[in-house]
Amino acid sequence: MTNWWPGRAVRALLVAAVLALSTPVMASQPPTAAAQDGFVPVSRAAQQETIPAARLVVIAYGFVWVMLLGYLWSIWSRLGKVERELHAVSRRIEAGDRR
Amino acid sequence: MRKLFLPLTVVAAGMFMMAPFLVDGAPYESTMGLVQKIFYFHVPSAMTMFVSAFVCGISSAVFLFKGRPAADRLAVAAAELTSVFGIIVLVTGPLWARKAWGVWWVWDERITSTFVLWLIFNAYLLLRKYGGAGSERLAAGLAIFGMANVPFVYWSVNVWRTLHPKTTVVPTLQPGMRGPFWFCVTAFLLLYVLAITARAHLEAERARLEEIYLAIEE
């Protein structure tokens, strides 16, 4: 009597094929948690999800302004610091030369 | 440039003050509504970031192969600006995405590659700050790779399927949107030119100070 059960390699291929085919099916299932544990009223869910677009736009534009002004101020401040140091060093050198 | 710096700064400030009014007057996009207005600052920031990455990469290559210190100073300035405009892109994008896609962040090709580009230029800056002697040559090599990443970021939306709008959006803009958009691009690029000039000048002054200290020590 021949053994009808396929070899190890074929079995592995079959398992892989079943898994590969079942993935899109499983992925297409709707999320189950909310539906199984209880129903959420639409109005409440909608309130949670809604973020006014105006707020996002104002935050975005405000952020750009703050970043750019902050960066320009940082260049100006660093430049001022280096130039003050340059002046101080130059004065020290001049004073040293006079002595 | 020194003579033009102040008048151009006034022009840039005026353009940035005028931009919100032009953006407000632009028509609403049919599917996204008001939140799409973030586009007028988000995309010019991204374009400026790309320009800055190219400036950093090209000047790094000049420094690496010709050994010009001025090119290295320009590369440092450009890397810092790439990081600044990069953070603007990476913050304004999620603010737009939250309303348009329903999520703050998606690990898709465009967004992830932009994040990686930003990380590369931050790595450059960290290397320059903490890398010690000789790090400028290593950082220059990194900047060239950072620049090479830009075309991939740009084309990613056309090659892979992503949620992000494609590169066809800008060339096909409606007349009402086109004017405010290119106005904002001009304002961002003008500000970029001014900022990189000032930042490169800061590097030159630092180099001068370092030379003086070295001369004193000798």
- Lowest average pLDDT, out of A52-56, B1-5, B148-152, goes to B1-5
C-alpha dist (Å) from residue B161 to B81, B107, B109, B157, B167: 30, 12, 8, 7, 13
Say how far apart CA B158 and CA B113 lie, in whole Å: 13
CB contact under 8 A, A60 and B41: yes
Beta-carbon contacts of A48 under 8 Å, excluding residues fewer than 6 positions away, are none
pLDDT tens string B147-198? 999 999 999 999 988 889 999 999 999 989 999 999 999 999 999 999 999 9
CB contact under 8 A, B35 and A71: no
- What's residue B134's pLDDT? 87
- Nearest in space to B43 (alpha carbons), one of B197, B203, B173: B173
CB contact under 8 A, A60 and B91: yes
Q: What is the ipTM of this complex?
A: 0.92
From A67, A68, A79, residue closest to B202, measured CB to CB: A79
| Polymer length of chain B | 218
Closest residue of B to A72, CA-based?
B195
Contacts of B95 in chain A (CB under 8 A): 56-57, 59-60, 63
CB contact under 8 A, B202 and A82: yes
Closest residue of A to B17, CA-based?
A65
Contacts of B45 in chain A (CB under 8 A): 64
CB contact under 8 A, B195 and A72: yes
CB contact under 8 A, A59 and B95: yes
Strand partners, B29: B33
Give the residue-averaged pLDDT of B15-25: 94
From A67, A75, A82, residue closest to B206, measured CB to CB: A82
Chain A touched by B166 (CB under 8 Å): no
Mutate which of A48, A56, A89 to test chain B, going by most B C-beta atoms within 10 A?
A56
* B168 to chain A, closest Cα gap in Å: 23
Q: Please provide the DSSP assignment of B46-102 as one string.
A: HHHHHHHHHHHHHHHHHHHHH--HHHHHHHHHHHHHHHHHHHHHHHHHHHHHHHHTS
Chain B touched by A74 (CB under 8 Å): no
pLDDT tens string B132-147? 888 999 999 999 999 9
First vs last C-alpha separation in chain B: 35
The topology (CATH level 3) of B2-217 is Four Helix Bundle (Hemerythrin (Met), subunit A) (1.20.120)
- What's residue B98's pLDDT? 92
Chain A touched by B82 (CB under 8 Å): no
From B95, B212, B216, residue closest to A60, measured CB to CB: B95
pLDDT over 90 (residue A47): no
pLDDT tens string A87-98? 999 888 888 766
* A17 to chain B, closest Cα gap in Å: 25
Give me chain A's average pLDDT, please. 71
- What's residue B156's pLDDT? 93
First vs last C-alpha separation in chain A: 114
Say how far apart CA B131 and CA B126 lie, in whole Å: 7
- Nearest in space to B153 (alpha carbons), one of B74, B63, B30, B52: B52
Give the residue-averaged pLDDT of A43-55: 67
Instruction: Categorize the per-residue pLDDT at A32 as very low, low, confident or very high, splitting at 50, 70 and 90.
Output: very low
pLDDT over 60 (residue B16): yes
Say how far apart CA B122 and CA B115 lie, in whole Å: 11
- Nearest in space to B136 (alpha carbons), one of B77, B196, B73, B86: B73
